[in-house]
Amino acid sequence: MAYWLDLIGSYIIAGTIILMIGRLNIYILNSSNEYLQSNMEQLKLSTSADIIDYDFYKIGYRITDDKITLADSDKIKFYTDIDNDGTGDSLYYYTGDISELSSTVNPKDKLLYRILNNETALSANAVTDFKLTYFDSLNAQISYSSLTNQSSRNDIRTIQIYLKVESAEPIDTVYQAVEWQKKITPKNL
């Protein structure tokens, strides 16, 4: 009888160990998927942030007229000599509609567009949030409602950019998110 109890006990212990190893493997797999997704989102965000950083620092470069002609919470149009050829270029950043990315599972995805000189819109990446905040020379925030006239847009000296990217697919019902925020004070404003 003791032999049978030892045999049943060893099966129970072995089964418990196998279940623990299985759960550990699942945990490791989920962790590696989260890490991979997070790194991919960081790479996407880094690429977009580098382009935005370069463009926004050059706002007003070699421009004598109005430098920023449109300023809102999620769109901006400004002039600069982006390619340093002596001719002013217009750059327009805006976010698209959520319905444009209905193929992804993430319901908050939308495209961030960059238009250079009224050419075809280029999408930098899919983002879930793109927000611009404007400040004057005293570092006081300028309200969006006052930015409808050019004289208020001429008061802009600093722009705070907030960018958030989430994975297109969730891992355990959680979208991997990466955020970037920066205040840029272009020299030519």
What percent of the chain is predicted at pLDDT more than 70?
99
In the prediction, which pLDDT does 137 show? 96
Smallest CA-to-CA distance from 176 within 128, 123, 132 is with: 128
54: alpha, beta or left? (left if phi > 0; alpha if psi -120 to 50):
alpha
| 54-58, 61-65, 102-106: the lowest-pLDDT one | 102-106
* Percent of the chain residues topping a pLDDT of 90: 74
Give the mean pLDDT of 49-55: 94
**What is the model's pLDDT at position 40?**
87
Contacts 24+ apart (CB under 8 A), 128-131: 128/164, 128/165, 128/166, 128/175, 128/177, 129/162, 129/163, 129/164, 130/74, 130/93, 130/95, 130/161, 130/162, 130/163, 130/164, 131/73, 131/74, 131/161, 131/162
Residue with the bigger pLDDT between 3 and 79: it is: 79
Is the pLDDT at 1 greater than 90? The verdict is: no
Q: pTM for the complete prediction?
A: 0.85
CA-closest candidate to residue 76, choices 64, 59, 99, 88: 59
- Mean pLDDT taken over the chain: 93
pLDDT recorded at residue 107 = 92
